[in-house]
Amino acid sequence: MKEGVVVKATGSVYTVRTSEKELIPCRLKGKMRLEDQKSTSPVVVGDNVLFEYEADAETGVIAEVLPRKNHIVRKSTNLSKQSHVLAANMDQAILLATINYPVTSTVFIDRFLVSAEAYSIPVVIVFNKVDRYKKGDLELLSELMEIYTKIGYRCEAISALNDADIEKLKSIVKDKVSLVAGHSGVGKSTLVNSLEPSVNLKTAEISSAHKTGIHTTTFAEMHPFSFGGYIIDTPGIRGFGLVDTGKEELYHYFREIFAASEGCQFHNCTHIHEPDCAVKAAVEEGEISESRYNSYLSIYFNKDEKYRRLQRQGLMQIYSTNRRWKFLVIAGAVVISVVSLYYTNNLVRELREEEQNKVALWAEANRLLVVESDPDEAMVSLIFEIIRDNNTVPVILTDNRGNILSHRNIKLPRNDQGEYLKHALEKMKKFGPPLEVDLGDGEYQYLYYQSSNLLTRLRWFPIVQLLVVFVFMVIAYIAFSATRRREEDQVWVGMARETAHQLGTPTSSLLAWLDLLKMKNVDENLLKEMRHDIGRLQTVASRFSKIGSRPDLLPEDIGEVVTGMIGYLRKRSSSLVRFNVKDELVESLTIPLSRPLFEWVLENLCKNAIDAMEGAGEISLTLSRSRDRVVLDVSDTGKGMTRAVQRNIFRPGFSTKSRGWGLGLSLSKRIIEQYHQGEITVLHSAPGKGTTFRISLPVRDKA
């Protein structure tokens, strides 16, 4: 057996570096693949292994993985229970993050840090691409570096294209085995190339459409540094699901939460709902970052990034399924129509041929009647029977000069019968060539004809039938949709009023508690804030009680309403969320509003924006006037939406949250459009570019 280190893993082939610096391609022993079913691969880059040469002495077989010093692991990218080990036996991890181009969320950073803490791996957080950041990005960068530096993580802000920054990083990675990880597009390959140009890894620009990275590294690989040390380059990571992290011990891996937990009243405090919780107190006092605490809650409640994405896909699948059924119904209708038309056309063609044969036989009977000088009685009887038998096909018999000699099965008007017959003859000439009747001695007659009325009606029958079916389906669809909308309205009204009813009792109780606290000489500032929040609860109850009934629209200053609502949200949002209100109205503008309901719409849009930004970013509200309407644009710097999401965002039940009801935006649309005769739309949105909602409300100028 020979010992070596795995420096490259491509799934089925592992490159092992020996102590003599030979690189040996190896495969796994079959037994090893079967023994470890909990991981996507039992052998990873950084593993120390024992292998033996195969017969050709150029390849080998890995027989054993030596005990690991550490490793970093995340949940596999599919829905299986398997884990994916990124690398093993490292001295430190370099988490490469970017404020923009693409965005690295604090949730992703914290998940990575938890996994590293669980396996005792030191982490250096390196924020890349600082040369591309605008003022707002640099402010956010400063806040994030302050948060993570305060709790003991080393943070660096660099540009991988700046020589001075690269020299600083060389001192960090020198003589160590370092793992570099991060989203696709944050610059991992560029950083490795800058540290060691001889590696020459492939790089690519981020996607211009989605502002996300494009995978250039497809497998993990360890590269040596000429100045000492090694770096393990890993493929880009979209989400970081955690494994083997129990809820009871989760707070151990948040350094500041673990330190603050010593002051909690209960030793098994979850730091979520318990009284006298030192951690919650530290969050309220600003000693613990709200974004870090939100990440703790996200992991505690198992809001895995991958599962949230799958949940969104599941919700999208509901509407995709609806669209698929509609397509199948339409396709079925088209198939039925084509089959019906094909069958009817074949039937019409056969009947036309039969009528042509009947007309030819009728012409022959007329000819025999003329040319036979002495027909017997049986022949005469047969000829007249044939002539009388044609009682459906319109025919006109003419001589060789075009004079009408006789006609049959043509319904004549009382007046101008001659002109009517001439007009009918012209139509028959257009229908097709006549049958020539040879009377002998160079004398000819010509028989003109056209399709019978029965055949004409039969040709139009399938089209009329399909039109009737189509009209019936449209009426049925409209009736069904109207019934479904009424049922949805009733459900919304019932849920809203029940919510208002349920809020009534605890709100009344809180008011009583507030009076009791006032008698206990509690700090008046605290009582003031509590009174404000109880007032908000009463407002929420009032909002829900108004759903289903026509609200009173009172004159309100739209600028004051927006500013007041944002002031309330600003105090109760993370410091990483920046609100910016821009009033472009020339003067104060009063419009008819249901203030409680309109404030609910604003709060809903802002809360959704904060979720989309994952707790950090900027929300901008711009007020302007366009002729007889006031326009409010609500923009965020969040993840944005695909076109598929935009099409369904206002539909009842659609949500991008794993536990979302999917009624917020649909109710917002109802409030704006049905109650205020306005309009709410997605003005523009794209993945990585944020989202802008536009609210347009009518202005009633004073006469």
pLDDT in tens, 398-412: 888 888 888 888 888
What pLDDT was estimated at residue 305?
Answer: 45
Domain ranges of the chain: 1-67, 250-300, 343-450, 550-698
Topology of domain 343-450, CATH: Beta-Lactamase (3.30.450)
Biggest CA pair distance of the chain? 136
Tokens of 528: 């003031």
* Residue type at position 658: S
What is the residue whose two structure tokens read 């796994």? 28
Which ranges of 547-675 does DSSP label H, i.e. alpha helix?
558-571, 595-612, 643-648, 664-669
Please name the fold of domain 250-300.
Ribonucleotide Reductase Protein R1; domain 1 (1.10.40)
Residue with tokens 């309901």, as numbered in its chain: 597
Measured distance CA(176)–CA(270) in Å, rounded: 37
CA 211/CA 296 separation, integer angstroms: 27
Residues of the chain with pLDDT under 50: 77-80, 204-215, 304-320, 658-661, 703
Query: How many CB atoms lie under 10 A from the CB of residue 381?
Result: 11
Specify the DSSP class assigned to residue 197.
G
Would you call 111 exposed, middle or buried from its count of C-beta atoms within 10 A (0-12, 13-18, 19+)?
buried
Distance separating alpha carbons of residues 235 and 23, to the nearest angstrom: 22
Residues 26 and 14 sit within 8 Å (Cβ to Cβ): yes
DSSP-assigned letter for residue 672: I
The whole-number pLDDT of residue 675 equals 85
| Among candidate residues 698, 693, 700, the one with its CA nearest the CA of residue 622 | 693
The pLDDT assigned to 36 comes to 52
Rounded-to-integer distance, Cα 670 and Cα 441, Å: 89
With the CA atoms of 161, 167, 169 and 173 taken in that order, what torsion angle do they form, in degrees rounded to the nearest 10?
Answer: 130
Using CA atoms, how far apart are residues 279 and 132, in angstroms rounded to an integer? Answer: 37
* pLDDT at residue 390, as a whole number: 65
d(CA 613, CA 103): 9
Residue 292 exposed, middle or buried by CB count within 10 Å (0-12, 13-18, 19+): buried
* Of 528, 611, 631, nearest in space to 571 by CA: 528
- What pLDDT, on a 0 to 100 scale, did the predictor assign at position 206? 44
Spell out a b/e string for 252-271, using b for 16 or more CB atoms within 10 Å of the CB, else e: ebbbbbebbbeebeeeebbb
Pick the CATH number of 550-698 from 3.30.565.10, 3.90.1150.10, 3.40.980.10, 3.40.50.1360: 3.30.565.10
User: Is CATH 2.40.50.140 correct for 1-67?
Assistant: yes
Q: Where are the beta strands (DSSP E) in 101-227?
A: 123-127, 154-157, 177-181, 221-224
Number of helices (H), then strands (E), in the chain: 17, 24
Could you give phi then psi for residue 100, rounded to 5 degrees? -150, 165
Q: Per residue in 218-257, pLDDT tens?
A: 688 999 999 999 999 988 675 566 655 678 889 999 999 9
Whether the Cβ atoms of residue 551 and residue 600 lie closer than 8 Å to each other = no
